[in-house]
Amino acid sequence: MSYVDAGYAVGLSVLVLYAIGLVVRRRSLERAVELSLPPSDSADGAAETGGASGP
Amino acid sequence: MWRDALLVAGKDLRIELRSRVALWQVLPVAVLSLVLYAFALGPVRQTLASAAPGLFWLAVLFSTVLATQRSFAIEAGEGTRDGLRVSGIDPAGVFLGKAAAVAAELAVLQIVLWAAMTLLFGVHLHTVWLALVASFLATIGLASAGTLYGALSAGLRVRETLLPLLVLPVLAPVLLAASRAWSGALTGSVSSGLSWLRVLGPFAVVYLVIGIVLYGPLLETA
Amino acid sequence: MSVRPEIPSAAAPRPRWLRIVGVAAVVSTAATVWLGLWVTPPDKIQGNLVRLVYLHPPIAWVALYLAFGLAALSSLLYLWRRTRSLFWDRLAAASVEVGVVFNALTLATGMLWGRPTWGVWWTWDARLTSTALLLVLFVGYLALRRVPADPEVRARRCAVAALIAFVDVPIVHFSVIWWQTLHQGATVLNSNLSPTIHGSMAWTLLLGFIALTLVFVWMVGVRYRIEVLADRTDAEHLEVSLAERWAEGDLDIAAIAAIAATNASNGGTGASLRPPTRVGP
């Protein structure tokens, strides 16, 4: 494997792995927040934005 | 601001004179480290002589960490820091005062270390004025950055391990430039030494100014 | 439950622009890789090694200037009273973490380029040394961030740390000019302002900068949201624990201290220890 290939491989794989890590962290935190929202809070939630509907 | 600075500096130095912690703990550790460097590098005169300026400034660097930790430890008592804050003293003045006290301690330390270095490593300062100017500028940089980071990490339970991690990289350029400048002073190559002074100067100014500007915001109550 | 003005409702959906940026980032990066590895010609002197120019300088630019620059600017805006808001603190934190990743990549790709070019993996010349120092400085920031503290106090500490660390960045840029160094002179921003790179290589390089910038923006966007959510869940934990204890009616000083201690070690917040008002004494 040439140095060029190694460079591209290292660069891209680190970026991809970090990106995946970010997405995973975000998803688990969103789930945690959703779970901890008590039912009486849905009034606040609805007033603000109307629920999670993002991409 | 200057009057407050003198007040605070005087207070810190008086505490030091009375408790003599820097004298009996920081100074001996610094000299000890020079001895340890000799153990680590071996007794060959050449090696030690060429490494001398770097080792000198390494010792000064670690002593700076100790001195600034001490500078904030004396205020760790209940409400002392709050007392300082509400007393109306200009925070920039507090910063200057504490930094000046640390700088004074570092200056004394450097004189002793220079003597020890001359004795233990067998080196002689060729161009004394170059070494003095470099020391002056470096000490300002070290004391300013050290004091700012000391305030930043004061009150943290992990202070002992976090402060070195935070402040040593910031002090590293000063270490580099001061070592090169002293290397020039030891060998007499003034021109190379001078170019490193051009690095030390801006660092001293920048760290001093940053300290003056950011000390207040750092300490203010939420 | 008390409303905290600085933590937006977790029910807020993910911003749509973020997904668009993400897609654009992937597309442009893929295009850069394709162009860089296969379409562009090899260099007369460096041969195929020059292909790393489409990756290494853009990564370095993102790390040093974009990421840490944004972190420093945000830190400044946080410290300045007129614009003080935890938004800037969280943005700075996100930017630093992404910046550290890019900084490490700068060094890694640089080493992989340097080894065949100069024959050594590492040398203590000004640019490499400054870049490595910068990494350590901002790793220190991340360590500082992990120390549990009231969000405002933590924000102030980290802002100061970021600003000082940023002082190192101009030194990295000017080090190439100030000192004799093994690293090549600036390709685009040299003193003549005439780029030494031309044709398809120049366009691919430009695309590389754009692509990595988009990647950076996307990463900071996601990381910022993570920061917001993390602060929110910390606050949630404390509130829920306290509400449960009050409801059980056996809350006492020892329990308060225990809860506070656990939450301090998990990354505490400035949440009040007073009971929620709707739960009676």
Residue B121: pLDDT band with limits 50, 70, 90: confident
The mean per-residue pLDDT over the stretch B130-145 comes to 94
Q: How many helical (H) and strand (E) elements, i.e. helices and strands, does chain B have?
A: 9, 0
- Nearest by Cα to C108 from C64, C56, C58, C63: C56
| Cβ-contact C272, C243 below 8 angstroms | no
Q: Determine the Cα–Cα distance for residues B144 and B98; give it in Å rounded to an integer.
A: 9
Distance of CA B127 to the CA centre of its chain: 22
C183 lies within 8 A of chain B by CB: no
pLDDT at B76 over 70: no
What is the token pair recorded at B198? 């051009």
Q: Determine the Cα–Cα distance for residues C127 and C105; give it in Å rounded to an integer.
A: 15
Is residue C250 a part of any domain in this protein? no
What is the token pair recorded at A8? 């591209």
Q: Determine the Cα–Cα distance for residues C127 and C69; give it in Å rounded to an integer.
A: 18
Mutate to test the interface with C, among A1, A18, A20 (most CBs of C within 10 A): A18
What is the token pair recorded at C159? 């802002």
Whether chain B lies against chain A with 3 or more Cβ pairs closer than 8 A is: no
Put simply, the answer to whether C56 touches A7 (Cβ < 8 Å) is yes
Chains B & C: contacts with CB separation below 8 Å: 51
Put simply, the answer to whether C13 touches A54 (Cβ < 8 Å) is yes
Q: Name the DSSP letter for residue C272.
A: -
pLDDT, position B86? 67
Looking at per-residue pLDDT, the higher value among C235 and B200 belongs to B200
Looking at per-residue pLDDT, the higher value among C196 and C141 belongs to C141
> Residue C124: what are its φ and ψ, rounded to 5°?
-90, 45
Mean model confidence pLDDT for chain B: 85
Residues on chain C touching A3 (C-beta within 8 angstroms): 49, 52, 112-113, 115-116
User: Which residue among A6, A33, A38 places its CB closest to the CB of C232?
Assistant: A33
Name the most confidently modeled range: B69-83, C76-90, C190-204.
C76-90
Name the most confidently modeled range: B2-16, B66-80, B135-149.
B135-149
Q: Determine the Cα–Cα distance for residues A45 and B104; give it in Å rounded to an integer.
A: 59
- Please state which of the ranges B118-127, B189-198, C165-174, C270-279 shows the lowest mean pLDDT: C270-279
pLDDT, position C195? 52
Put simply, the answer to whether C144 touches B173 (Cβ < 8 Å) is no
Mutate to test the interface with A, among C18, C34, C40, C51 (most CBs of A within 10 A): C51
Is residue C206 a part of any domain in this protein? yes
User: Which residue among A7, A51, A52 places its CB closest to the CB of C52?
Assistant: A7
Beta strands in chain A (DSSP E): none
pLDDT at B69 over 80: yes
Looking at per-residue pLDDT, the higher value among C241 and C3 belongs to C241
Instruction: Give every CB contact of residue C58 below 8 A, 6+ residues apart in sequence.
Output: C205, C208, C209, C211, C212, C213
> For a pLDDT cut of 90, what percent of chain B falls above it?
28
pLDDT, position C169? 67
pLDDT, position B81? 65
Residue C173: pLDDT band with limits 50, 70, 90: low
Residue C5: pLDDT band with limits 50, 70, 90: very low
pLDDT, position A10? 94
Looking at per-residue pLDDT, the higher value among B82 and B62 belongs to B62
Q: Determine the Cα–Cα distance for residues A23 and A26; give it in Å rounded to an integer.
A: 5
Q: Determine the Cα–Cα distance for residues B10 and C191; give it in Å rounded to an integer.
A: 49
* Predicted-complex ipTM score: 0.79
Residue C273: pLDDT band with limits 50, 70, 90: very low
> For a pLDDT cut of 90, what percent of chain C falls above it?
37
Put simply, the answer to whether B222 touches C163 (Cβ < 8 Å) is no
What is the token pair recorded at B96? 């200057």
Per-residue pLDDT tens digits for C141-161: 999 998 878 888 889 999 999
Is residue C15 a part of any domain in this protein? no
- Please state which of the ranges A28-42, B19-33, C61-75 shows the lowest mean pLDDT: A28-42
Per-residue pLDDT tens digits for B25-45: 888 889 999 989 988 888 788
- Total number of domains constituting chain C: 1
* Gap from A34 CA to chain C (nearest CA, Å): 7
* Gap from C259 CA to chain A (nearest CA, Å): 18
Q: Determine the Cα–Cα distance for residues B133 and B199; give it in Å rounded to an integer.
A: 12
* Gap from B166 CA to chain C (nearest CA, Å): 5
What is the token pair recorded at B123? 């080196």
Residues on chain A touching C221 (C-beta within 8 angstroms): none
Which residues of chain B have a Cβ shorter than 8 Å from any chain C Cβ?
145, 148, 152-153, 156, 158, 162, 165-166, 169-170, 172-173, 206-207, 210, 214, 217-218, 220, 222
Per-residue pLDDT tens digits for B149-181: 988 887 676 667 888 889 998 888 888 889 989
| Cβ-contact C191, C177 below 8 angstroms | yes
Kindly report the CA angle at C86 between C84 and C89, in degrees rounded to 5? 95
Looking at per-residue pLDDT, the higher value among C86 and C245 belongs to C86
Residues on chain C touching B217 (C-beta within 8 angstroms): 79, 156, 160
Q: Determine the Cα–Cα distance for residues B154 and B82; give it in Å rounded to an integer.
A: 13
Q: Determine the Cα–Cα distance for residues B121 and C34; give it in Å rounded to an integer.
A: 58
Amino acid, res. C70: L
* Gap from A21 CA to chain C (nearest CA, Å): 10
* Gap from C149 CA to chain B (nearest CA, Å): 9
Report pTM. 0.78
Amino acid, res. C65: Y
pLDDT, position C128? 81
pLDDT at B130 over 50: yes
Put simply, the answer to whether B173 touches C133 (Cβ < 8 Å) is yes
Count the Cβ atoms, other than its own, within 10 Å of residue C254.
8
How many Cα atoms within 13 Å fall on the side-chain side of residue C256? 10
- Total number of domains constituting chain B: 1
* Gap from C229 CA to chain A (nearest CA, Å): 6
Put simply, the answer to whether C236 touches A33 (Cβ < 8 Å) is yes
pLDDT, position C109? 93
Put simply, the answer to whether C230 touches A7 (Cβ < 8 Å) is no
Looking at per-residue pLDDT, the higher value among A40 and C125 belongs to C125
Residues on chain B touching C150 (C-beta within 8 angstroms): 222
pLDDT, position C77? 95
Is residue C276 a part of any domain in this protein? no
pLDDT at A42 over 70: no
Q: Determine the Cα–Cα distance for residues B172 and C7; give it in Å rounded to an integer.
A: 38
> Residue C128: what are its φ and ψ, rounded to 5°?
-60, -45
Residues on chain B touching C149 (C-beta within 8 angstroms): 156
Looking at per-residue pLDDT, the higher value among B219 and B184 belongs to B184
Exposed / middle / buried, residue B119 (Cβ in 10 Å: 0-12, 13-18, 19+): exposed
Put simply, the answer to whether B218 touches C150 (Cβ < 8 Å) is no
pLDDT, position B138? 95
Residue C250: pLDDT band with limits 50, 70, 90: low
Residue A46: pLDDT band with limits 50, 70, 90: very low
- Nearest by Cα to C112 from C121, C103, C104: C121
| Cβ-contact B91, B215 below 8 angstroms | yes
pLDDT, position B132? 93
Residues on chain B touching C137 (C-beta within 8 angstroms): 169-170
| Domain range for C162 | 24-189+197-224
C64 lies within 8 A of chain B by CB: no
